Structure 1
Amino acid sequence: MTRSRLLTLTASLATTLFVLVGLVATPANAASTVRYVALGDSYSSGVGAGNYTSESGSCQRSTSAYSALWAAANAPASYVSVACSGATTLTVASSQLSALSSTTTLVSLTAGGNDMGFADIMKTCALYGTTECVAAVQTAENKANSTLAGLLSTLYTKIRAKAPNAKVVVLSYPVFYQLNTVCVGLSATSHAKINEGINLVDNITKTAAQAKGFVFADVRSIFVGHQLCSGDKWLHALNFASLGISYHPMATGQSGGYYPVFRTAAS
């Protein structure tokens, strides 16, 4: 082979290699432009998943939460979770939105359940009978029908004002119980009523999110077969030794339920 032909071949190979490297690098470069902020309550902070960060304190932000899993897999330019256990739409607005800016490109959120008294309802259902449980859920449904859409709309408007250029993904809550199974604990009537209340909150949330042009990411179907009273549950049942994790996703619920739904919605 002549020297000139060797030089030509070497240059051609170098060009090909450069192009291939560029093609491989493109997804990483694209991901690195994302500036992601996770907002919300305990379902976003990762309560029940363990592996809580020391800086998060009582907010109990977990490295096993769906937002952290997404960030680890996608290496965004920046990622911060300010989600906090017990957060309501009002406390998200007052204490979390400072993390947003005009440079934020992706936001995730769960909110609304605590506004309807989620913890107190489940405590009532666990400690008292069916009549009291059904009444507590019905009171929350009445409140949701009259106030939740307005609370969510106000919060969503504030999020959009703080992050005008962001894709906002609002995630649902999972429906807790698999019905028509043999299951100890609460009555079948209580199970059905609790599911009804969760579906109402999720449906109101869906309407409010879509009205603002946000993406609604519904986890309900992916949790089917992994609910309480199923053979492979992704949710903690009532735990008197650690009440805070009761009815929250385990690490498997975050990785197998919330994460894939959010990954699809964020793409």
Structure 2
Amino acid sequence: MRRRLITMLAVLALGGAALALPHAAAADDPGAVYVAIGDSEAAGTGNLPYVDQSCLRSKKSYPMLLAATSGVPVSSSACAGATTTQVATGQLGDLGPATQLVTLTAGVNDLDWQGVLAACSSAGTDLACGAAMNAAAVALQGVPIGIGQLLGAVRTLAPNALIVVTGYPMLFGEVVNSCSVGNYQGVSVKFSSAQAAGVNAGLWQLNSAVQAGVGGYVGQTGDPGVRYVDVVGAFDGHGLCDSGSRWISGLVPGQPVVDRGFHPNAGGQQAYADAIALALASM
């Protein structure tokens, strides 16, 4: 798979992977060949060392891993906390007619997801959890629109690029009774089986919304150069409560490791990179 990925990205870098897209006129700044945009998942937040402290962007993020494997440098603007709107308005500066690959992970910050996790754990209450879930469900309705608008903005600036949009992994595996995820401010935080199932269900809905945004954009534009990559299967057996090695970090006290909480660790970032590499290799 590694050889096929290198070949695929090498072809992209040479402009040989021609898509049925209009060719843009040459510009003073043609853009980077591989551009990564998105939120903390794409930034690799929680995995030291950081190459950009302000965005918690890690040297071990999946775009960096893909770049290292392929030998094609990446220009990443991914930033922790970014919404689809913030990605569209603040992260597209490296795109251009020379851009051949764009990877994107976004959507979770369009919801108050951290608020959901806090409310729907032992640190919250049933009432607070219900309210947080309801608010997230309302916000979720805007995710397909946000993704579609973001894809349109990317395509305008990078008319020749293959755009890969990923979903999110499930946080929890099989929870029989409860799952401890560490402690926050000296208090142990746990999720019951019902709470863990509810969080996973919310992530399934988020992935469906992201995929709907991709499908809606492609359906409206006929754009052949956009792909959705589901990463759920890549994390099977490696959630917070699975018996296998965790590829999602629990809560870790202290600075700067507090950023790790509920984010893919180094193994999880590699799983992201592998899932995208597999998708690229099969195209």
> Counterpart of 2:146 in 1: which secondary structure?
helix
Dislocated runs of 4+, deviation >6 Å: 25-28
| CA drift at 1:32 | 4.6
Residue 132 (structure 2) pairs with residue 136 (structure 1): yes
Partner of 1:97: 92
| CA drift at 1:26 | 7.6
| CA drift at 1:154 | 1.1
- Which protein is richer in strand relative to its size? 2
The TM-score normalised by the length of structure 1 is 0.82
Q: How many residues align?
A: 238
Q: Quick check: 1:100–1:163 contact (8 Å CA) kept in 2?
A: yes
Q: Quick check: 2:175–2:241 contact (8 Å CA) kept in 1?
A: no
Partner of 1:18: none
Partner of 1:238: 251
**Alignment-mate amino acid for residue 92 of structure 2:** L
> Counterpart of 1:210 in 2: which secondary structure?
helix
1:57-110 CA-partner distances (Å, limit 9, x unpaired): 22121121111111111112x421110011111111111011111110000011
| CA drift at 1:31 | 6.2
Residue 135 (structure 2) pairs with residue 120 (structure 1): no
Q: Computing the radius of gyration over CA atoms, which structure comes out larger, 1 or 2?
A: 1
| Mapping 1:1-267, distance limit 5 Å | 30=11, 32-33=13-14, 35-53=33-51, 56-76=52-72, 78-126=73-121, 127-145=123-141, 147-182=142-177, 183-184=179-180, 185-213=190-218, 214-231=226-243, 232-241=245-254, 242-255=257-270, 257-267=271-281
RMSD: 2.1
Give distance in 2, aligned partners of 1:247 and 1:119. Answer: 9
- Which protein is richer in helix relative to its size? 1
| CA drift at 1:28 | 8.6
Q: Quick check: 1:109–1:171 contact (8 Å CA) kept in 2?
A: yes
Give distance in 1, aligned partners of 2:156 and 2:200. Answer: 34
**Alignment-mate amino acid for residue 215 of structure 2:** Q
> Counterpart of 1:39 in 2: which secondary structure?
strand
1:101-127 CA-partner distances (Å, limit 9, x unpaired): 111000001111001112222233342
Q: Quick check: 2:40–2:82 contact (8 Å CA) kept in 1?
A: yes
Structure 2: gaps of 5 or more residues: 1-5, 16-32, 181-189, 219-225
Give distance in 2, aligned partners of 1:72 and 1:175. Answer: 26
1:22-51 CA-partner distances (Å, limit 9, x unpaired): xxx988953653710000000000012222
Q: Quick check: 1:47–1:245 contact (8 Å CA) kept in 2?
A: yes
The TM-score normalised by the length of structure 2 is 0.78
Give distance in 2, aligned partners of 1:181 and 1:254. Answer: 27
Give distance in 2, aligned partners of 1:167 and 1:105. Answer: 6
Identity of aligned residues (%): 32
Give distance in 1, aligned partners of 2:9 and 2:78. Answer: 26
Q: Quick check: 1:39–1:83 contact (8 Å CA) kept in 2?
A: yes
Q: Quick check: 1:31–1:75 contact (8 Å CA) kept in 2?
A: no
Give distance in 2, aligned partners of 1:96 and 1:259. Answer: 20
Give distance in 2, aligned partners of 1:136 and 1:94. Answer: 27
Q: Quick check: 1:61–1:84 contact (8 Å CA) kept in 2?
A: yes
Q: More displaced, 117-126 or 87-96?
A: 117-126
Q: Quick check: 2:144–2:210 contact (8 Å CA) kept in 1?
A: yes
